[in-house]
Amino acid sequence: MTLLNILIASDFSKHADWALQRTISLAKINQATIHFLHILTPPLGSIAQSSEMELQLNHFSEKKEIEEKILKQLKNNHHKLSVGVSVVLGRAADEVVRYADEKSCDLIIVGAHGNYYINDYVLGTTSGSIIRQSCVPVLLIKKEPHFAYERILIATDLSNASKETVRFTFNCFPEANFQLLHIVDIYYRQFLNPTDFDEKFLDTQHPKIKTIFEKLDDFLDQCQVDKRKFEKKIIGDYYADAIVKQASKWKADLLAFGTQGKSKLHYLLIGSVAKRILHLSSVDMLAIPPKFNLHNR
């Protein structure tokens, strides 16, 4: 599988620069076109006080300067592949999602924090909004990319949507090692013996645990990936806490999950669960929406 079009949304912050470095690295591997998008967001007061004509004039006066800054940044990163540059006016999350759809982008890459994050504070982080709205996978950068992704944790609820998460992640990073994490949430956990989830107990052949591992095996078969690259893990905990803790414990350098599961109760990226993961985790994240098919874009 090849990524043909990669969108980098940048506000020129530190995290956005890291996102650009990761974008260039992936573009070189896939010989992909980079789409560099910068969004100008007028202060709330200026929207009320300025006419539409004034906003457009201010936008165009900044656009050329910003485009030159973008091209210089790409040159400094030794990028020689195909690139498209666009500077638009609007709300960051909305414009990123719209642009990705218009250009049939296969992946959106964005920094975890920056000016967009500050501007959208009242409505939630821009990166979080992009992940919730996007029909395209989103790679959220939290660390300086001086490393390749070698240990990738994939959270699964064994749903059909989750299969696409495993396939996409594996096909993007086939050289990595993977841990498939299945979380038995607190609601279901109350029906099981708490000792079933002790670290020591998980190494035994307890029938309940064995059944879940067998389901994980069948799940990987259906994903059509190289099972030799995967190890399996079961944890009983709250979703966000379990994901963040296990990513740290296993020393994952990328955390991947779908944005939709078996039911609305299993949406990983909505409400408090989303905020908790985005806030607590220090690992890069790959969020994949349901029914995303790279080959049909």
pLDDT digits (tens, 9 = 90+) for 96-155: 999 999 999 999 999 877 555 444 433 346 777 787 788 999 999 999 988 899 999 999
pLDDT at 27 over 80: yes
Cα 115 to Cα 57, 143, 268: the distances in Å are 22, 17, 25
pLDDT at 82 over 50: yes
* Three-state secondary structure call for residue 172: helix
Tens of pLDDT, residue by residue over 143-194, are 998 889 999 999 998 888 889 999 999 999 999 999 999 987 654 454 455 5
Query: 87 vs 192, which has greater pLDDT?
Result: 87
Q: Quick count: other Cβ atoms within 10 Å of Cβ 69?
A: 15
Q: Taking residues 240-256, report their average pLDDT.
A: 92
Q: Taking residues 258-281, report their average pLDDT.
A: 61
Could you say which of 3.40.50.620, 3.40.220.10, 3.40.50.720, 3.40.640.10 is the CATH number of the domain covering 5-141? 3.40.50.620
Q: For a pLDDT cut of 70, what percent of the chain falls above it? A: 70
Q: Which stretch, 80-94, 148-162, 233-247, has highest mean pLDDT?
A: 148-162
Cα 199 to Cα 113, 235, 236: the distances in Å are 35, 9, 11
Q: Taking residues 15-43, report their average pLDDT.
A: 88
For 110-146, the three-class secondary structure string (H helix, E strand, C coil) is: EECCCHHHHHCCCCCCHHHHHHHHCCCCEEEECCCCC
Residue 108: predicted pLDDT: 96
Q: For a pLDDT cut of 90, what percent of the chain falls above it? A: 36
pLDDT at 218 over 50: yes
DSSP state of 32: P
Residue 2: predicted pLDDT: 77
Q: H or E segment at 96?
A: helix 92-102
Q: H or E segment at 30?
A: helix 14-30
Between CA 194 and CA 129 the distance in angstroms is 36
Q: Taking residues 14-38, report their average pLDDT.
A: 91
Q: Where in the chain is the domain with CATH 3.40.50.620?
A: 5-141, 151-296
Q: Which residues 6+ apart lie within 8 Å of 97 measured at CB?
A: 130, 133, 134, 135, 136
Residue 230: predicted pLDDT: 98
pLDDT confidence bin for 41, thresholds 50/70/90? confident
Its CATH class, for the domain covering 151-296, is alpha beta
